[in-house]
Structure 1
Amino acid sequence: MGNFDRTLSSEDVVRRRATLLQRLHIDGWLLLILLVLAAGGLFVLYSASGKNWDTLLKQASSFGLGLLAMFIVAQIEPRFMARWVPLAYLGGSAMLLYVELFGYTAMGATRWIHIPGVIRFQPSEFMKLIMPATIAWYLARGSLPPRLKHICISLLLIGIPFVLVLKQPDLGTAMLILASGAFVLFMGGLRWRWISAAVAAAVPIAVAMWFFVLHDYQKQRIHTFLDPESDPLGSGWNIIQSKAAIGSGGVFGKGWLLGTQSHLDFLPESHTDFIIAVLGEEFGLVGICLLLMVYLVLIGRGLFITAQAQTLFGKLLAGSITMTFFVYVFVNIGMVSGLLPVVGVPLPFISYGGTSLVTLMTGFGVLMSVHTHRKWIAQA
């Protein structure tokens, strides 16, 4: 009898915990994975930044702000989010236009809105989240699969911020915005003939971009991708050094804080875009595989939430956010390992960057909202 009481008591505790998480609209598994990633990211960033405490504290503060944003967004029902999506799209596009006209320039690019003494941020980061929400809102208002008219309007909605970000210039972020909107169209049941047409149009579009859109430094990055040894001390330096760092780590790595490529300044941008090279050098193949496993679990959880979503808007939005996160990881790792051209995409939760981190956490807040509000409705 006593054993039965103890068992019953343990089950009651589990129910109470589950109820508390539901009331807070927080998905426990998702939160746990994000905390693991953030802790590991700070651990690697400390070494990659040359033991710079200021950088570490700024990143930790950004993660704390991201947690707050995630918690706030998770409280909002998806149907209520949908009402404000058009206004968010207009506001995001207006900020991108402001950047084009009056933006803050640094390192040869105009990507920031700078309020002296207050904040400096990249509006393009917010469009990575606003864009899939906009296309999901638009497609959810009609029937699926989308007709040609709806596809054209969706492409127009995607194209405006894509062009504005491309002109900053920021090819990496522009491609992520394009991908986030395209994923929604794909999950909306885009017919294969339209997909085939898009694939067929890729070659002439790429040729046109080469001659009329891409800047000289972007063309040089593609040349470097094809043959990094052609300019080993110039444009090919980053790729060559990142490969050397990853290769020198071997299976188990050299140990934390013992990497030579980053600490001796052979590896540029070691705390931002190329931070996985630091991870590979210090923790080896084992460290990279562990990180990929955590990413895989996170993506799997996102796809599970997508499959369980009860509304069309929630399903399209959750799926697009999850797949865009996959593109983040794929492009950064492919870029650093020399499998893709360098486009300036940070490694999620590991690379230094406040706006990017807050945007990512906000996106996962949307996933939590889709999932936990679904549970609440199912029990009502």
Structure 2
Amino acid sequence: MAEKRKLFEEVGEAKRPETPARTGMIDRGRRGARGAIRVWLMMLFALVVAMILVGGLTRLTDSGLSITEWKPVTGALPPMSEADWTAEFEKYQAIPEYELQNQGMTLSEFKVIYWWEWGHRQLGRFVGLVWALGFAGFLMLRKIPPGWTGRLLIPGLLGGVQGAVGWWMVSSGLTGTMLDVASYRLATHLGLAFVILGVLSWYIFLLGCEERELMQCRRNREAKLFSMGTGLTHFAFLQILIGALVAGIDAGRNYTDWPLMAGGFFPPFPFEIEPLWRNFFENDGLVQFMHRMAGYLLAIFGVVVWLRARRSPHGKTRFAFNAVLAMMALQVVLGVVTVLYSAQLHIAITHQLGAVVLWVLILRARFIAGYPTADSIRGSVR
């Protein structure tokens, strides 16, 4: 028999079912496979870094013009017979690099440079495959967080453009009297690689935090330091492009004294090429001078940004910019050593790797300035 209720029973005495507090509403339904996507992007990041290094070695070994055709699909297969190798070698013998620089090269010597270029292109195909499979998989499983589908398309689209730019670059060295590819096309190719690397890095940083954490951290954005970090990013990118111009004309193998150039502050004959504008792309002395001066100015600006970062109330922000300054100092030293040793292969590629590390550290410091976390907050992954 049901118990009779008291006539003057207080409302507060009625038992109510206990319901757990609902937290994390911002992330409810928005997570997707954030962790898995982040791992996938890290794999792409590592592959793009490998592409940059293999591309640098391909350039330093003068292998970039060994394959004279662009076959995105059928080119994945290397020559399979001696007749195939002979046919490829004959195509190479018809371009200016062979006629003006490599006369007398043997087939076995040709195979060495061919494998470098083939490996570079094959790695590019593999990067595209990893992106396509990953994107299609997450899309079909509906694991992409809301708002991220368009973002994750961007690396793939940029990768496709990069393949076309790569052939545009190579084609510049197949006719006329060019011994190498056009330096400004090489700069475009390398610059786009760093853009792709930057996009991947930023996405990895974003996916390292929950949406609610990003919204909370953004309220504490250090606007001035974030802006200075943006300026440092742009300046570093400009220096990377100038470095590509240096590589494009082998300017790093000339003027091997430092801090002077051929005994003077300014290189001799900096404007000997006509028309005048071509000197800024093709004059080895002027291009190396530009790279040196831009490096000095970048280092000075890096110190200015670091001094501003020292006043940050966030320990992670200060540490991030400390890392930038330390890597920048190391990169300056590597640059000087590269010049003194006439851009020997192992030193030059280390200098290029240093540019990759510095680029990512600058982006990371900028991100942390934009989304700072208090030292007491735990669980954020950067």
Global fold match (TM > 0.5): no
TM-score (norm 1): 0.30
Which protein, 1 or 2, shows the higher relative CO under an 8 Å CA cutoff with sep ≥ 6?
1
Structure with bigger helix share is 1
Q: Which has the larger radius of gyration?
A: 2
The normalised TM-score by structure 2 is 0.29
